Amino acid sequence: MFENIHANKTYKTLYNGNWIQSTTKNTIQIKSPANNCLVGEIQSMNKEDIDKTIINSQCAQKTWAQTPMNKRAEILHKAAVLLEKNINEISYIIQLEVGKNKSSAISEVKRTADFIKFTADEGKHLKGETIGGENFPGFSKNKISLVTKIPIGIVLAISPFNYPINLSTSKIAPALIAGNSVLFKPATQGAISGLYLAEIFNAAGIPKGVLNTVTGKSSEIGDYIVTHPDINFINFTGSTKVGTHIAKIAGMVPMMMELGGKDAAIVLKDADLDDAAKDIVTGAYNYSGQRCTAVKRVLVINSIADELIAKMNPLINNLKVGSPFEDADIIPLINSKNADYVQQLIDDALNKGAKLIIGNKRTDNLLYPTLLDNVNTNMRIAWEEPFGPVLPIIRVNDLNEAINIANASEYGLQSSVFTKDINNAFLVADKLQVGTVQVNNQPERGPDHFPFSGVKASGMGTQGIRYSIDAMTSRKAVILNLSNN
């Protein structure tokens, strides 16, 4: 079903329901991080292309906003079915393009189909409210506010490379069900997967122009789209650096920002260390640590640290290192710039006295899983987000020291606490400055209808199906003023 979207691997862009070339006719090559082969080429759009696309999105949104919710939900359900039907082809593209292993790529697509179905159903429960005037001093029940939730207009959806289908859909589907049109700008590395996704919605019957795509170099068009006066909402997931930049230049446009993290796993004395070790190892090294919710530091009470490390060591040794096509756990990182950065953090820690427990081996972008003990707060790895398979262990004396170090981070996405003591679990949860605290589990975003938010440099706004729909609608009040008799 994807024959329209490319010609000899040169992918087009979705404009008004049709797949077209950019006016520049320039393309960008996308190579696989797994084997460096050419995956395809994408259109390098310019500012004129963007202006034309935004006019089209604006026009299409007006009709879409009038389309009954039931009809919108029906189209989304069709999209979910089509996604499931094409799971093999799409998950293969994810493996090729962003180097995710086969089982994780399949589970990303499956999870996304479920996300779309849930969103379609949730839309049918979108409710307004009535508020009586008499609730406020000096007013009577003759004044009634009828509040409805209405679409915002054009949502600019900008997604990162690491979940090219799921983190794109988590913006597109809630925006669409709410009656907005979407201008979808995928990460350049991840764009081909994103274009497949756009065709899924297109083939399901999303009307022409309601979903359009933008691809191109962010250095050329990034600032232009985010500052475009006709964009009504920016829904962004990516690094704190880019997110902060967008927030600074975009002006008075509502936005949702899901940014970087430095999730801590706090392990207390009475934790079940077998379970904690399993969760921490999976949480830190899955997809080579290229997840916002990866465990990015362990804060463990000194007296149990040796035992925890002894339990983690064989689990790390058992991780399969290799190619995404062999379903390896540890795969080449997305690019060599990121791999170099992770290596710098490892080198800095080792130079400052950290103890290497395992790893610090590299072949090109493929970094072996690395565990560092005796990391202290003078080392960069204690604070910076690596987005790679390296985990620092910071030993602490007590729970308060763990909380203090956890909160000293600029980030505040998620954190975990491992303990059998419910009181300590709640005490830590209460004190941690993060969007979510996991008790006895690794940090993770799902299930996707749960609220997911970051505080401090980890973002603003709350994702999660109902929360995302709510964020991408505005409140409109019609006030009835009844006469006294």
Binding site for ligand NAP (CB under 6 A): 158-162, 167, 185, 187-188, 218, 222-223, 226, 237-239, 242, 245-246, 258-261, 292, 385, 387, 413, 454, 459
- One-letter amino acid at 145 equals S
Binders of ligand G3H in range 152-171 (CB under 6 A): 162-163
- Nearer to ligand G3H among residue 180 and residue 237 (C-beta): 237
> Per the omega criterion (within 30 degrees of 0), is the bond before 164 cis?
no
**44 binds ligand G3H per the rule CB under 6 A:** no
Binders of ligand G3H in range 188-217 (CB under 6 A): none
CA geometry: angle 360, 363, 364, nearest 5 deg: 115
CB of 19 to ligand G3H, least distance (A): 29
Strands of the sheet containing 370-373, edge to edge, are: 355-358, 370-373, 390-396, 297-301, 264-267, 414-418, 436-439
Q: Which of 120, 173, 257, 292 binds ligand G3H (CB under 6 A)?
A: 292
Coil, strand, or helix at residue 27?
strand
Of 304-312, 319-327, 371-379, 438-446, the window that binds ligand G3H (rule: CB under 6 A) is: 438-446
| Per-residue exposure over 296-305, b if at least 16 CB sit within 10 Å of its own CB, e if not | bbbbbbeebb
CA geometry: angle 225, 229, 233, nearest 5 deg: 70
- Nearer to ligand NAP among residue 95 and residue 235 (C-beta): 235
403 binds, among ligand G3H, ligand NAP, none (CB under 5 to 8 A by kind): none
Question: Which is it for the CA torsion 85, 88, 92, 95, positive or negative?
Answer: positive
CB of 382 to ligand NAP, least distance (A): 17
CA-closest candidate to residue 280, choices 263, 265, 261: 265
- Nearer to ligand NAP among residue 179 and residue 388 (C-beta): 388
385 binds, among ligand G3H, ligand NAP, none (CB under 5 to 8 A by kind): ligand NAP
Coil, strand, or helix at residue 105?
helix
CA-closest candidate to residue 392, choices 361, 435, 357: 357
- Which residues are annotated as catalytic? 258, 292
**101 binds ligand G3H per the rule CB under 6 A:** no
283 binds, among ligand NAP, ligand G3H, none (CB under 5 to 8 A by kind): none
Please name the residue ranges forming H helices in 318-421: 336-351, 399-407
- Nearer to ligand G3H among residue 108 and residue 373 (C-beta): 108
187 binds, among ligand NAP, ligand G3H, none (CB under 5 to 8 A by kind): ligand NAP
**295 binds ligand G3H per the rule CB under 6 A:** no
The DSSP annotation for 179-227 comes to: T-EEEEE--STTHHHHHHHHHHHHHHTPPTTTEEE--S-HHHHHHHHHT
239 binds, among ligand NAP, ligand G3H, none (CB under 5 to 8 A by kind): ligand NAP
- Nearer to ligand NAP among residue 25 and residue 248 (C-beta): 248
- Nearer to ligand NAP among residue 149 and residue 228 (C-beta): 228
CA-closest candidate to residue 163, choices 262, 287, 329: 287
